[in-house]
């Protein structure tokens, strides 16, 4: 979904103000509690949440309270673990933040010191896993930078309401380096590459197995071909291709060409890939 001009204007205009506030707070090395106050103001003025009804510091998890929770209606959208503006975000802080979400079944977690914002998604399986979806630096980027505006849009009240965060995550997984490598090494792509090479050099015979081996060993990085993440991507791609073939065959038999036919839904959803990949 496109970012509305109203929301984009709110983000850029208020972000410029808070960049000055954060820079001053960092110079003064303010405490964690003072940083939380600034973060709450950013959530309200930049991201559009109601400071008095949708932000709380009273959300308890196992006899302790998270720094901030964003709650719209009865839905906890995400939890925020905050550190002082001068504190570098480290792995123990990530674990602390993820543990809060895991203990309460909340999939979206934000770790921030006011300037750096890291957004994580938790996968609730055994063992619990978490993945960094994106990171943005409010001080290291212009308040008009399109990528920064997009990052903040995903967290905003309007963006989150339209599942922007989920869509962004799905796009990341579907276009990850592992997924792209799996597509490039698929039979269809190898055949297309062979046809193109024969078109360019008709006098040279090129074997498909040779092309696949060359891509795996000489063109693509080893990580995207041989890692555990790569294996999961390849498994998903095989299932997706089989599902696509079933849909194509069914449509051919029935004369349908509408990609919205019911059978298209029978293929492996992107969520199946997300549960396994990364």
Distance CA 274, CA 172 (A): 10
Q: State what percent of residues in the chain have pLDDT above 70.
A: 84
pLDDT in tens, 58-68: 777 666 778 89
In terms of domains, do 149 and 198 share one? Answer: no
Distance CA 100, CA 111 (A): 11
The number of folded domains in the chain is 2
> Does residue 170 lie in a domain region?
no
In terms of domains, do 120 and 204 share one? Answer: no
Beta sheet of 108-112, edge-to-edge order: 55-56, 68-72, 75-82, 108-112, 116-123, 129-137
Residues 3-27, mean pLDDT to the nearest whole number: 94
Distance CA 257, CA 175 (A): 26
Distance CA 96, CA 91 (A): 9
Least confident of 24-33, 121-130, 192-201: 121-130
In terms of domains, do 161 and 183 share one? Answer: no
> Does residue 228 lie in a domain region?
yes
Least confident of 12-21, 106-115, 141-150, 152-161: 152-161
Q: Which range marks the domain in which residue 38 is found?
A: 5-165
pLDDT in tens, 174-204: 667 777 888 888 888 899 998 888 888 888 8
> Does residue 172 lie in a domain region?
no
Distance CA 228, CA 80 (A): 31
130, β-bridge pairs: 122
What CATH code is carried by the domain that includes residue 12?
Answer: 3.90.1570
């Amino acid at each position: 979904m496109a970012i509305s001009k109203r929301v984009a204007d709110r983000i850029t205009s208020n972000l410029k103000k808070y960049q000055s506030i954060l820079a001053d707070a960092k110079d003064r090395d303010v405490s964690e509690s003072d940083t939380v106050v600034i973060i709450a103001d950013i959530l309200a003025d930049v991201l559009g949440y109601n400071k008095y009804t949708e932000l709380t510091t009273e959300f308890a998890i196992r006899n302790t309270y998270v720094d901030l929770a964003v709650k719209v209606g009865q839905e906890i959208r995400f939890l925020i673990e905050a550190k002082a503006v001068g504190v570098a975000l480290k792995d123990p802080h990530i674990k602390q933040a993820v543990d809060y979400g895991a203990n309460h079944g909340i999939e979206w977690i934000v770790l921030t010191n006011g300037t750096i914002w890291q957004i994580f998604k938790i996968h609730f399986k055994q063992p619990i896993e978490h993945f960094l979806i994106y990171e943005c630096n409010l001080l290291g980027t212009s308040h008009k930078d399109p990528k920064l505006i997009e990052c903040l849009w995903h967290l905003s009240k309007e963006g989150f309401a339209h599942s922007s965060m989920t869509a962004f995550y799905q796009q990341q997984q579907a276009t990850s380096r592992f997924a792209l490598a799996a597509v490039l090494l698929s039979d269809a792509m190898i055949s297309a590459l062979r046809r193109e090479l024969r078109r360019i050099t008709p006098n040279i015979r090129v074997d498909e197995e040779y092309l696949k081996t060359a891509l795996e060993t000489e063109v693509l990085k080893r990580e995207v071909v041989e890692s555990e993440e790569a294996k999961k991507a390849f498994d998903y791609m095989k299932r997706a291709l089989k599902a696509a073939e079933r849909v194509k065959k069914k449509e051919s038999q029935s004369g349908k060409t509408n990609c919205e036919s019911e059978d298209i839904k029978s293929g492996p959803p992107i969520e199946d890939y997300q549960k396994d990949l990364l």
